[in-house]
């Protein structure tokens, strides 16, 4: 088994290195790359090798195999200018090895004046407004091959609407998680390829490759500190970037998060906070907030709520417990 893990890990890293030599190309539907949840953004978008909650449906569908109970996530984001971003995700444990998930993204770019054109080609008068919007619908599956290897896939439908015109495309994501026990009990390698699919209006989708590592350490309680790093490659820009992230859970209820992005054009620092609680006999919930600096484009603020629909097991979520059987099972 260790030989297989080393082989898969080397293959994932080689893929990222080869990707850096591919030519850049323009792409459409950039909203498919926007980090959806406040938790993941607060950690600097280093979730590919962690993927231990319902938002694995976006970052790495292999992470769904971590989840032993139903989860639902809702996010609202105040994006640049008058744009807003809304996201909802759901996961369901279908069997001991197979987990299913789904998510929906809706992005509105705010009202824009509709300006007519005169017969001579000059700018005419304002004749109303329209609101461009993007929509994505996706279903995912994560499968536990064994306690150390997980795989996953997502299929999605994306729709772009501008005034009376619209265009759509289909895409897929692929992911893998490997627990590297021969090096360290909590060390995990993750890799994902996102938005591999059809063209829309003659442009490619925003194909993206990510790969990285996550590990857990003890500061006060076992596994209360998570450290994650990710290499990020968007095929359209041809620029390799890196992400660094930290998450610390204080007394298993309050989370402090910090992230830093290297090689990005729109800002690098992210900060996040979270609070988790259990309502006895009903469900658990987590409330998260993240701030991301975006340079001259304006900063962004994300607000997320996650519901754990089997609260008794969720008491150990993200805190080093033994509720889950997959890669998140800690000693």
> Who wins on pLDDT, 292 or 192?
192
Distance, CA of 31 to CA of 205 (rounded, Å): 10
User: Please, which pLDDT band fits residue 297 given cuts at 50, 70 and 90?
Assistant: low
Measuring CA to CA, which residue among 61, 115, 122, 117 is closest to residue 91? 61
Residue 5 reports pLDDT greater than 90 = no
**So what's the pLDDT on residue 124?**
59
Distance, CA of 205 to CA of 169 (rounded, Å): 8
Structure-token pair, residue 298: 């304006």
User: Please, which pLDDT band fits residue 163 given cuts at 50, 70 and 90?
Assistant: confident
Residue 225 reports pLDDT greater than 90 = yes
Q: Please classify residue 86 by burial: count the beta carbons closer than 10 Å to its beta carbon, then call 0-12 exposed, 13-18 middle and 19+ buried.
A: middle
For the CA atoms of 232, 233, 239, 241, what is the dihedral angle to 10 degrees?
A: 10
User: Please, which pLDDT band fits residue 26 given cuts at 50, 70 and 90?
Assistant: low
Q: Tell me if 156 sits within 8 A of 168, measured CB to CB.
A: no
Residue carrying the six token digits 């304002």:
126
Residue 183 reports pLDDT greater than 80 = no
> Who wins on pLDDT, 261 or 4?
261
**So what's the pLDDT on residue 127?**
67
Residue 274 reports pLDDT greater than 60 = yes
Per-residue pLDDT, averaged over 74-87, amounts to 86
**So what's the pLDDT on residue 326?**
35
Distance, CA of 247 to CA of 318 (rounded, Å): 9
CA dist list (Å): 185 to 180, 226, 293, 329:
7, 13, 34, 10
**So what's the pLDDT on residue 288?**
97
Per-residue pLDDT, averaged over 37-56, amounts to 94
Residue 7 reports pLDDT greater than 50 = no
**So what's the pLDDT on residue 161?**
87
CATH code for the domain defined by 2-314: 2.40.160.60
Structure-token pair, residue 294: 């975006």
Distance, CA of 228 to CA of 256 (rounded, Å): 14
Residue 18 reports pLDDT greater than 80 = no
Domain ranges across the chain: 2-314
Residue 198 reports pLDDT greater than 70 = yes
Q: Considering only the C-alpha atoms of the chain, give the largest distance between any 2 of them, rounded to a whole number of Å.
A: 75
Least confident of 206-210, 234-238, 303-307: 234-238
Residue 99 reports pLDDT greater than 80 = yes
**So what's the pLDDT on residue 6?**
47
């Amino acid at each position: 088994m260790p030989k297989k893990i080393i082989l898969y890990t080397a293959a994932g890293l080689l893929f990222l290195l080869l990707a850096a030599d591919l030519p850049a190309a323009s792409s459409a539907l950039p909203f498919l790359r926007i980090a959806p949840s406040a938790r993941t953004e607060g950690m600097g978008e280093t979730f590919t090798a962690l993927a231990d909650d319902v938002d694995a449906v976006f970052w790495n569908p292999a992470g769904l195999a971590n989840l032993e109970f139903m989860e639902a996530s809702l996010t609202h984001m105040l994006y640049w200018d008058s744009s807003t971003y809304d996201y909802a995700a759901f996961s369901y444990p279908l069997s001991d090895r197979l987990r299913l998930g789904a998510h929906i993204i809706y992005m509105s770019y705010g009202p824009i004046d509709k300006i007519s054109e005169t017969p001579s080609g000059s700018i005419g008068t304002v004749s109303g407004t329209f609101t461009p919007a993007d929509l994505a619908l996706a279903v995912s599956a994560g499968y536990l091959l064994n306690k150390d290897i997980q795989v996953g896939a997502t299929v999605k439908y994306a729709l772009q609407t501008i005034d009376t015109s619209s265009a759509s495309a289909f895409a897929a994501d692929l992911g893998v998680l490997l627990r590297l026990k021969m090096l360290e009990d909590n060390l995990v390698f993750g890799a994902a390829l996102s938005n591999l699919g059809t063209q829309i209006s003659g442009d490619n989708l925003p194909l993206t490759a990510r790969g990285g590592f996550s590990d857990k350490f003890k500061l006060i309680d076992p596994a209360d500190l998570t450290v994650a790093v990710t290499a990020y490659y968007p095929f359209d820009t041809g620029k390799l970037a890196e992400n660094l992230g930290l998450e610390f859970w204080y007394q298993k209820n309050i989370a402090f998060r910090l992230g830093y992005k290297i090689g990005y054009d729109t800002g690098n620092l992210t900060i996040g906070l979270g609070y988790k609680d259990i309502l006895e006999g009903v469900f658990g919930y987590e409330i998260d907030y993240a701030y991301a600096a975006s340079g001259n484009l304006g900063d962004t603020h994300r607000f997320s709520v996650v519901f754990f629909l089997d609260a008794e097991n969720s008491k150990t979520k993200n805190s080093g417990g033994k509720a889950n059987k997959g890669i998140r099972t800690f000693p």
